[in-house]
């Protein structure tokens, strides 16, 4: 079995001061990657700052013989994203990998949600991925190589009570990943997403007693594979927890075709056929769906 190495590859990992990001950084660095450890040092809810979290992880990597620099810029601003990428370029001369992992929680039932709860979550997860990936993307296009791994969530893919802001941001990352995949193909840039379940400071209150089974380190092997030059896919989503990995996808059913005779009553009568999952397909892009539908028109 081939050992996957990252020699001479430069990686940015956001939210790497602890939890999943820290494990991603440790694993990639142990296999030769030069890592920018980014972490603003905020609490779970995005409040306060403890700016030494990034430094602690970077120092841990260096003590283990790896190469890492710390960065404490915020992913929530365009300027912060540019500064994070600039740290990689100035330190390592290139940027090959971006793992967008930074995140916060501000949960509230939808009818009680407010802008001060929603905006910071969207800014950190979704806009944060934009702000870091966009300047990195420019460099990746120039060098003809890049790997993006975005961190989605089952809360976005499947929905979860009290997490409208978080779920919207996480599903938004799926759309971003799909567009990146389609735009990046001719530049040898891949973009994939993971939906991890792990015991971290963000989830410890939700999953008591699962610490040993849901170690963040059991998510990182998938993130590392998707960040490697040998990854054979782009635009895909994978759920991962406790050593379990599976693909999640958005499919389209066979559906029905009634042409000009389609009415609300026909939809009602044939709704079970519309929903039937037999013979579904997974479009690669909107054109793929159009190519399947238009011949029926």
The residues annotated as belonging to the active site are 166
Contact present, 282 and 257 (Cβ < 8 Å): no
DSSP 8-state secondary structure symbol assigned to residue 2: P
Q: Is 208 exposed, middle or buried (0-12, 13-18, 19+ CB in 10 A)?
A: exposed
Contact present, 248 and 238 (Cβ < 8 Å): yes
At how many degrees (to 10) do helices 78-92 and 128-143 cross? 40
DSSP 8-state secondary structure symbol assigned to residue 263: -
> Closest Cα to residue 254, out of 236, 274, 239, 271?
274
Q: How far apart are CA 135 and CA 183, in angstroms?
A: 15
Q: How far apart are CA 113 and CA 260, in angstroms?
A: 42
Distances in whole angstroms, Cα of residue 267 to Cα of each of 172, 263, 272: 29, 6, 9
Contact present, 149 and 99 (Cβ < 8 Å): yes
């Amino acid at each position: 079995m081939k050992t996957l190495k990252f020699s001479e590859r430069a990686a940015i990992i956001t939210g790497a001061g602890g939890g999943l990001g820290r494990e991603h950084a440790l694993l990639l660095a142990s296999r030769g990657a030069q890592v920018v450890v980014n972490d603003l040092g905020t609490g779970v809810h995005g409040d306060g700052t403890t700016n030494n979290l990034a430094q602690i992880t970077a120092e841990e990597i260096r003590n283990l013989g790896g190469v890492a620099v710390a960065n404490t810029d915020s992913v929530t601003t365009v300027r912060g994203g540019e500064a994070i990428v600039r740290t990689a370029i100035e330190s390592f001369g290139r940027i090959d990998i971006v793992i967008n992992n930074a995140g916060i929680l501000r949960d509230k039932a939808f009818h009680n949600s407010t802008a001060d709860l929603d905006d910071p979550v969207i800014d950190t997860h979704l806009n944060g991925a934009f702000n870091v990936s966009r300047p990195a993307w420019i460099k990746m296009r120039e060098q003809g190589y890049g790997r993006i791994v975005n961190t989605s969530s089952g809360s976005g893919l499947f929905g979860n009570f009290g997490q409208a802001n978080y779920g919207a941001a996480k599903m938004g990352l799926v759309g971003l990943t799909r567009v990146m995949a389609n735009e990046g193909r001719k530049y040898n840039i891949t973009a994939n997403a993971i939906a991890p379940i792990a015991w971290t400071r963000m989830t410890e209150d939700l999953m008591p007693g699962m610490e040993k089974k849901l170690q963040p380190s059991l998510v990182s092997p998938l993130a590392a594979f998707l960040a490697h030059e040998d990854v054979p896919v782009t635009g895909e989503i994978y759920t991962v927890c406790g050593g379990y990995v599976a693909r999640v996808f958005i499919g389209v059913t066979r559906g029905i075709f009634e042409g000009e005779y389609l009415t609300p009553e026909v939809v009602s009568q044939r709704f079970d056929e519309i929903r039937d999952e037999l013979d579904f397909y997974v479009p690669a892009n909107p054109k793929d769906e159009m190519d399947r539908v238009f011949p029926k028109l």
